Structure 1
Amino acid sequence: MTRALGLLFGGRARRRWIHLILGGALAMPYVLVGSLIVGPLTGVDDVFRSLPLQLGSFAVGLPIASVTSLFPLTRPLESATVRALCGVDADALAAGPARTAAERARTAAWFTLHLGLGGIIAGMSLALPPFAVVLIALPAFAGLRDTRLGLPEVLDHGWVLALSPVAGLAALCALAACAAGCGALLARWAPALLGPTPRDRLAAAETRAADLAVRNRLARELHDSVGHALSAVTLQAGAARRLLDTDPEFVREALAAIEETTRRTVGELDAVLGVLRDGDAPGTAPAPTLASDLEGLLRRTRAGGQTVTATVGLDPAALPALVSREAYRIVQEGLSNALKHAGAPVAVRISAPGGHLEITVENPLGAAPAPRPGGGHGLRGIADRVRLLGGTAQAGPSADIWRLSVRLPLTTPPMAADARPRPLPEGTA
């Protein structure tokens, strides 16, 4: 019983009832236009004195309403109203105006349906409640049984008079049931008539995927550039503090490295934010590469007291720009892991055998990255970069060392590869 009353008179039912009343209010101008057509055709001056002529005017006005629904703002306004009053999910409705013929036809069908059902429910809402109140009060007020009110004389019979309050309540419940039913139908049909087409859904999904790709790239760039800089500066500052009294020359070099690292990182941060301003076109966002800053990266890492040996068996300037940029970030992240977790020498090897770029970063096994809460983003970032370039990567212990090994093709990378974030596999790619 409680559930039935909630369906008929609950908050959602009342909001949908208001939605129908608004449809009836919108229908009134079209009914007036219909009366201007029905009146001359039937030879009646006042069509509103006759219920059949009122219904005829209503029927004539609805096709006119369907034509006016072709205005561009109709679908956005109707969608907003449906979201607010009918409880339909916003994702199921189109926000923009109808553009194609099919979308306009569906919008016209919805507008006609809304005004048609709304006009019926609005008329019932105007007529039934006063009549129901009279039936409910009829046994208590003899004056209401005056036939001048239009009530039938049969109501003078006792048993009929006793049942009139029941009939009044039934009329109110019937009105609520009709309103709830029509509101439920409109809520069910709204996604089909006002919702986006498959093409719109595909375009929205592509937009969301592009936005997610930009966010993922921005996160990778921030992690690699800013994270490495903070690790390097922390190590350099710590080394300078320890040697402040014994090795002033080293302290000066460390402070110079800190200054260079922070200045360069500010520039990289501007470049990373440019990804949001200029789009996510691969290779267009300014960023350091092996050709432009490999030596600087190694120098700044060594300035913190870290022993780094590098073997470069190729000319970095000969690498494709995209490969050179991503390779720089991979080397940077490998050194960042060493800065955070290693206290032993780090070896970097870069070569290009057989049309592939091979990068290896090694340090003793005792300095391998240890699990830490919220950590591991760097290795996942390397995995994402390698996968987008169509390469392979492996990271993990090998004999008595921790090795990060990456192999990248030097040809155009297959940018359509699966880009979903996955952890970097340990041991094998």
Structure 2
Amino acid sequence: MGILRAAAAPLVSARTYTRWVYLVLGGALFTPFFIAVFVLMSLVTPWGPTPGSDQSGLGGEGYIGTAVAALLGGATGFIPGVHAAQSQVARSLLGGPLADEPRLAGADWRTRVRGACWLALLFAVGLGVCLATMVVLTDAASLALIPLFGSAPDLGQRIILVDWSPSGAERWAAPFAGAGLLVLFVYAVALLGAGASRLARPFLGASAADRLAAVRARAADLGERNRLAAELHDSIGHALSVVALQAGAASRVIERDPEFARGALEAIADQARTATAELDHVLGLLREKAPGDRAPQRALADVPHLVEAARTAGTEAEYTARGPVGEVPPVVSRELYRICQEGVTNALRHGAGGPVRVRVDAADGRVRVEVVNPCAGRRPRRRGGGRGLEGARERVRLLGGELRAGAEDGVWRLEADIPWKSGR
């Protein structure tokens, strides 16, 4: 049963017939070039085909004319847009390995040469498939009509059947012979189409440079996704941590200290507005809006507001700065703000309740940030946690700096050191 299914697969597979259509389309597109070349040959050469010549075969001059016409047709592959169009058609109708290749944003001259060679080959093979299709369909129809006419109808010159006038029961076998002829032709087309689908990849597929460009584009896309994930983690995570602390504090003292509870609720509202602005910024990046429409990103100049929010949450916090903090390049300033935010967020979540100290030092061609807070021994690692510090290390590494984080003598310290006056 499995053998029969495998044998019948080419006959019932839609891919067989789409590949057949692809080859026939190649022959149909080749026809104007083919006719033009043979007309010119008949005008300018004494050995071109003439009305009285034998048309049963092409002959030597016919093969030369076909080759010239195929080369002329293949040259159209250098026209802008032709390579992309034929690659798309081949992907859709041939399938196979080419369908898994990355789509090219553009085509250089090497890619167009390969495409032109494929087009010339397709035209020549497609012409043969077109002729074979006409002959086989004609002869299969002739055999199917023998029981009605007693002999094969005169449908012009036939290659496979010349003259067959069966009598008696032989006439009823003719339609089966025609069906068998058609089945054999479908198998031949399936084999030819399978070969074409495998050959298409070297001619129309991506080159090594194209694959490298696709990998780089994919890496850039993944890098952007990771950056947006880090933006969400740092900004929204910090705001939610402050909101949770403020809400817990307000619920505990709302009856005996309404003034403190009111201040906590105001801080929650302020953090909610900040989180909304940050979320709008990230969504703007995802929508690929114009830069002018995006919310401004926070920088080192906003660290005092970060510390003030920690104070509002009921945590003792202080901020010190030294050097020209405002002259730090924007890209470095933004990333260091996020690192300070990560340090303050961790202090609010896991600290031992002592003071949080944030220091920024922009002297000597380098900028250093430090967030220090007391901690109760070594922190237990949370399930699924640690993404914030991992993201901070990655950002600092990309900027050529170094990040250190850890607990020592009951103090948790987060330090980042980045050069910024060396062309960065």
- TM-score interval for Structure 1 and Structure 2 normalised by the shorter chain: 0.7 to 0.9
Question: 1:189-228 counterparts in 2 under 5 A?
Answer: 189-228=199-238
- The corresponding residue for 2:81 is 73
Shift of 1:342: 4.6
- Deviation (angstroms), 1:266: 4.2
In structure 2, what is the Cα distance between the partners aligned to 1:339 and 1:365?
Answer: 13
Q: Matched residues in 2 for 1:391 and 1:234: separation?
A: 33
Contact 2:150–2:165 (8 Å) recurs in 1:
no
Map 1:131-280 to 2 at 5 A: 131-135=139-143, 143-144=150-151, 168=178, 171-272=181-282, 276-277=288-289
Specify every segment of 5 or more residues in structure 2 that has no aligned partner in the other structure, as ranges.
none
Deviation at 1:134, TM superposition (A): 4.0
Matched-pair contact (CA < 8 Å) for 1:72–1:97: no
Aligned pairs for 1:83-122 within 5 A: 83-88=91-96, 89-92=98-101, 94-96=103-105, 98-100=107-109, 102-122=110-130
Give the aligned CA root-mean-square deviation in angstroms: 4.0
Q: TM-score, normalised by structure 2?
A: 0.78
Q: Tell me the distance in 2 between the aligned counterparts of 1:29 and 1:48.
A: 22
Alpha-carbon spacing, 1:80–1:385, altered in 2? closer, same or farther (3 Å): same
- Within a 5 Å distance, the mapping from 1:394-405 to structure 2 comes to 394-396=404-406, 398=408, 400=410, 403-405=412-414
Identity rate, percent = 34
Q: Decide whether the 8 Å contact of 2:370 with 2:414 is kept in 1.
A: yes
Per mean C-alpha deviation after superposition, the further-off stretch among 339-348 and 180-189 is: 339-348
Instruction: Give the secondary structure class of the aligned counterpart of 1:171.
Output: helix
Q: Distance in 1 between matches of 2:52 and 2:404?
A: 87
- Of 70, 78, 97, 1:62 maps to 70
Residue of 52, 57, 61 corresponding to 2:58: 52
Q: What are the Cα deviations for residues 271-323 of structure 1, in whole angstroms up to 9, with x where unaligned?
A: 555655568xxxx9943333x22222122112122x23446473472773444
Paired position in structure 2 for 1:33:
36
- What is the DSSP-based 3-state SS (H/G/I as helix, E as strand, rest coil) of the residue aligned with 1:144? coil
Equivalent position SS for 2:417: strand
Alpha-carbon distance between aligned partners in 2 of 1:369 and 1:293, rounded to the nearest angstrom: 30
Matched, 1:19 2:22: yes
Q: Helix, strand or coil: the match of 1:406?
A: strand
Alpha-carbon separation, structure 2, partners of 1:48 and 1:274: 73
**2:4 matched to 1:4?**
no
**CA separation of 1:331 and 1:71: change in aligned 2, threshold 3 A:** same
1:143 to partner: Cα distance: 0.7
Matched, 1:361 2:372: yes
Structure 2 SS opposite 1:245: coil
Q: Residue 5 of structure 1: SS of its match in structure 2? A: helix
Q: Which amino acid aligns with 1:179?
A: V
Q: For the Cα contact (< 8 Å) 1:333–1:378, is it kept in 2?
A: yes
Matched residues in 2 for 1:90 and 1:145: separation?
44
Taking the aligned partners of 1:264 and 1:109, their CA distance within structure 2 comes to: 60
Letter in 2 for 1:408: D
Whole-Å Cα distance in 2 between the matches of residues 194 and 213 of structure 1?
A: 29
Deviates more, 1:175-184 or 1:296-305: 175-184
Alignment coverage as a number of residue pairs = 405
Alignment of 1:347-358 (within 5 A): 347-348=356-357, 350=359, 357=368
> Gaps spanning 5+ residues in structure 1: where?
416-429
In 2, are the aligned partners of 1:136 and 1:165 still within 8 Å (CA)?
yes
Equivalent position SS for 2:373: strand
- Equivalent residue number for residue 418 of structure 2: 409
Q: Partners of 1:21 and 1:146 in 2: how far apart?
A: 26
Would you say the 8 A contact 1:93–1:190 is kept in 2?
A: no
TM-score normalised by L of structure 1:
0.77
* 1:424 match: none
